[in-house]
Structure 1
Amino acid sequence: MMDHSYLTNEQLQEWKNLKGNFTVTPNYIDLIIGIWNTMSWYYRPVMWRNYTFPHSFIEEFARHFYFPLDQVYCIVYLAIFITILRYLFEKLICKPLVYWLGLKAIDKKKFPESAWKCFFYTLTWSYSVYLLHYRYSYFQEPYLIWDDWSPGMHIPFDIKSMYFIQCGFYLHSVYGTLYMDYKRKDFYVMLLHHVVTMALIFVSYATR
């Protein structure tokens, strides 16, 4: 039985009174319906009677937040490594390829960035497929992501690596958008996208 120490007795009783069709092996439709029903229950006015923003939000966030400083440094180092890797990739592979293909001037500027992103996303997508489909079966059986869950739980190294690589990549992307990418009309939108994506990955890992 899970310990729900953060729920009041009233909230816990409300939870126990939830009715619905529960299954040990839900599919994605079951998960969506279950999440919707739970959110509908959780976000009722009675559940937020004593909630004060932003104090309650900060308090709850701090209670679940777990991200050691050495892991933050690891992400920064990865971002630096990815930046160096991109520089070498563009200089040693893309630059000769651009001249060999005989691209137009505008395409010569855009090609290295596109080739780099294609290369990186192909690798990370393939690794994600391996993790979700073969290593852990999360894709076929999504309910497994809640197995043995506990606040601040240990994350397997292979999943942690994906988190760190992706977070490091988007930290690099902020630098890349500012100093390496071809400047486009959506410059500020992309910059915002990278910051928001990095924040989502960071918070997802830190509040596991």
Structure 2
Amino acid sequence: MVVHIPTWEDSSRVFENPFDTLWWFGERYHKKYGQKWPMEGQTPPEGYVYPSMEGIKLACVLAVVLTIARFTFERLIAEPIGRWFGLKHKLGGTPAGPNAKLEALIMKTKKPTSEQIAAAAKDADMEIREVEVWIRRKQRELMPSKLNKFKETLWRLCVYTFAYTYGMSVLWQEDFFWNTQLCWVGFPDLTWAIKKSLYYYYLLEGSFYLSLMVSQFMDTKRKDFWEMFIHHIATLSLIGGSWFGGCYKVGAIVMATHDISDVFLEAAKTSIYIKKNFWSNIFFGLFTITFFASRLVYLPFKVVFCSLVEGSAAVHNWPVHILYNSFLIVLQILHIYWFTFIVKLLIKIAAGSDVEKDDRSEDDTPPSSSAEEKKQN
């Protein structure tokens, strides 16, 4: 095996462009393990494409396009729909009013402790009850409105529905979707080329999750913010790694496995915001069933088994495969973690309550301060 020794021209190419840098390391990596890089003088079969940095660049461009499309959709379509259902931006109630010292406290922590409230009351020369009322009013002002949350959710519902519908229309015709052992036939020489239909599916999913990872910092913050951020990184790593590593067949099945439950989750949340409790319970029930079946049964016992066990004999400890399986396990751990939230909501429903909100939210409506206000008056 001949190992390429990097030259000065190679190193100058590495630092010119981050995309070229990644591609350069990919070439060196494959040559190190005796693999022929698919771009070296080969033409893909008709209807197929080889992995290339052009695809990564296109996914980044599409992520920007999707972000623009999202804000356009929210402004022109989702907001009028939300207002038609009676949702508003303003939460109402008496404004907190300006108070520099108390605002500094809220900037430090949105949920101050009783000790912090007492110290702030002393510093601001106010009664503790007055500070508590001001904090409740300020918390209400800082809360994202249900209209904003509705717009975010409706956008994700539309994209997940389209992605799952397109993905299944493509995978339904593939033999490897029904027999996962076929995912590794001819690896890696016969698995470099990816069908254009699956290539478009990869572009859609990759650009969407990339846009989600960026827009997450602008969306309604939830308790599992960093868990979701890790989920997006793991998902993007799986998408990119499976494409460049010749494992795109397993990658496509993983993407479709995740999309189905997300469709019902976003549908349930959309119904909650417009106060259609009957439909929110129905969609949440479907979400629970599909989440459990797809992510806690089918994914570990079929897809992960396919990648860990069936794939090991074909790839011979191919390092990309090891890294790919590591991210699959990370996703599985996150699924178990999120299922605990589902169980909590199931307990609420069993107790006779409707699904009123996502338990991951940090933006719970603060208790009404009307009683304290009456006491003050």
1: distance between equivalents of 2:55 and 2:205? 13
Distance 1:136 1:70, change over 3 A: same
**Could you list the per-position Cα deviations for residues 15-50 of structure 1 after superposition, in whole angstroms to 9, with x for gaps in the alignment?**
xxxxxxxxxxxxxxxxxxxxxxxxxxxxxxxxxxxx
Residue of structure 1 aligned with 2:60, choices 51, 73, 76: 76
Superposed displacement of residue 150, structure 1 = 3.2
Residue of structure 1 aligned with 2:169, choices 130, 133, 149: 130
Superposed displacement of residue 61, structure 1 = 9.6
Distance 1:62 1:203, change over 3 A: farther
Number of aligned residue pairs: 150
Superposed displacement of residue 73, structure 1 = 0.7
RMSD of aligned residue pairs (Cα, Å): 2.6
Letter in 2 for 1:198: L
Determine which structure has greater relative contact order: mean sequence separation of CA pairs < 8 Å that are 6+ residues apart, divided by chain length. 1
State the SS of the aligned residue for 1:153. Answer: coil
Superposed displacement of residue 68, structure 1 = 2.3
Residue of structure 2 aligned with 1:159, choices 174, 198, 202: 198
1:186 and 2:224 aligned: yes
Superposed displacement of residue 62, structure 1 = 6.4
Superposed displacement of residue 203, structure 1 = 0.6
Residue of structure 1 aligned with 2:150, choices 111, 116, 132: 111
1: distance between equivalents of 2:204 and 2:216? 18
The corresponding residue for 2:237 is: 199
Extract unaligned runs of 5+ from structure 1: 6-57
Return the TM-score normalized by structure 2: 0.36
Distance 1:97 1:137, change over 3 A: same
Distance 1:89 1:61, change over 3 A: farther
State the SS of the aligned residue for 1:185. Answer: coil
1:140 and 2:124 aligned: no
2: distance between equivalents of 1:97 and 1:154? 43
- Could you say which structure has the larger radius of gyration? 2
Distance 1:69 1:140, change over 3 A: closer
**What fraction of aligned residue pairs are identical, expressed as a percent?**
29
Superposed displacement of residue 147, structure 1 = 4.1
Distance 1:61 1:200, change over 3 A: farther
